[in-house]
Structure 1
């Protein structure tokens, strides 16, 4: 589930510069938050990405226990008002410089920075927890991480799209018009981004149960083949 924010820092120049429900099975607790900052490089010419991870611990020795803790203590997402098993908070920041020319003004440069915080659960396995509970948790937690990382990819793609679109704009009659055009482009790209995130969550929600069962069967096969350690 993603929780988008927008921060538009628009720069002016002459050379002037101013300066997303996946089912009741997923949710969790805010104990033992461990924050790990990672800066991820993106190819030259693309938007910047700054990604951090926040981990929190949950307990429970049965599937029911784990479900209750996730449902009660999972991160609350502003866009839905409900708690989720994992969350990705994101903010888009645009920094734009403008250049005046005779009778026109153009975007001289545009830099889009995407800051994301991925919130993931960690289960403290009690000694009395059965192996099948661990098997389920390993499958579920891996799927939660994959889901949130896909939210990041969707946002990253739209950040690149936004930066490219801003740089490709034609000169406008003046810098006010250029700023208005930049705002129009930004709003359109971020609206597409929001729709893409909602659609992704919708598809994931519909396919959740069948996906988890398929992933569990695959994990069991790998354990039986010696490719993974026993649960």
Structure 2
């Protein structure tokens, strides 16, 4: 039986420490890079020094998500020629996030600002992962629904064209998401910081 293999790697970063999980054809894990310091200025320098890179000369980032599609497609003879047999696609996701344990010298304000930023970084990278999971399902469905072709060479060409199109669309969707997030980052972080500060004040008042 003929087989098709495909792979796409979107981002590569530095890692340290691992948490893993597997579900079906999706393998996920989160790697952390550790930051040290007591002030926002020190954390910013650490982030610029240790944050992951994407491998395209854009410097370091507060977080990153590696996305790699893979798998195979088999073909079978049918009355009309050739059709897709088994579709076995998979997805590997590696989220790279910062980790900071506040020292005793860190101010309460620094802790609140860090929590706001780290929560937004984690949410952002999880949204990248969601986009990839969605495209895995869409690509599998599209290949399964291709019908038949006159021979298996033509069937393989149809599968290649379909997977190629979905991989390009996936990459474009990831770029569009980053563009949108970049436009909204200041507004979003201010809103989240206000929420976290209000929650901290409410908790402090309740403790008095």
What TM-score does the superposition give when structure 2 sets the normalisation length? 0.88
Structure 1: gaps of 5 or more residues: 1-10, 21-27, 42-47
In structure 1, the residue matched to 2:166 is 189
Write the distance in 1 (CA, Å) between the matches of 2:4 and 2:99: 42
Alignment correspondent of 1:168: 145
SS at match of 1:226: helix
- How far does the alpha carbon of each residue in 1:168-197 deviate from its partner, in whole angstroms, 9 at most, with x for none? 002011111111111100010111101110
Select between 130-139 and 119-128 the one with higher mean Cα deviation: 119-128
Aligned to 1:213: 190
Counterpart in the other structure of 2:21: 38
Q: Distance in 2 between matches of 1:103 and 1:36?
A: 48
Q: Deviations over 1:95-114 (max 9, x none)?
A: 21110124511002212211
Aligned residues: 200
Q: Aligned partners of 1:66, 1:110: CA distance in 2, in Å?
A: 46
Judged with a 3 Å threshold, the aligned counterparts in structure 2 of structure 1 residues 40 and 217 are, in CA distance, closer, same or farther, namely: farther
- Runs of 4+ displaced beyond 6 Å: 17-20
> Equivalent of 2:75, from 77, 83, 98?
98
In 2 relative to 1, CA 192–79 (structure 1 residues): closer, same or farther, beyond 3 Å? farther
Gaps of 5+ in 2: none
**1:29–1:58: 8 Å Cα contact kept in structure 2?**
no
Question: Is 2:121 aligned against 1:144?
Answer: yes
In 2: Cα distance, 1:29 partner to 1:138 partner:
22
Matched, 1:107 2:84: yes
Distance 1:114 1:79, change over 3 A: farther
Of 37, 55, 60 in structure 1, the residue corresponding to residue 37 of structure 2 is: 60
1:40 is displaced (CA, Å) by 3.4
Change (3 A) 1:200 1:156: same
Instruction: Name the residue aligned to 1:83.
Output: 60
C-alpha deviation, 1:82, in angstroms: 2.4
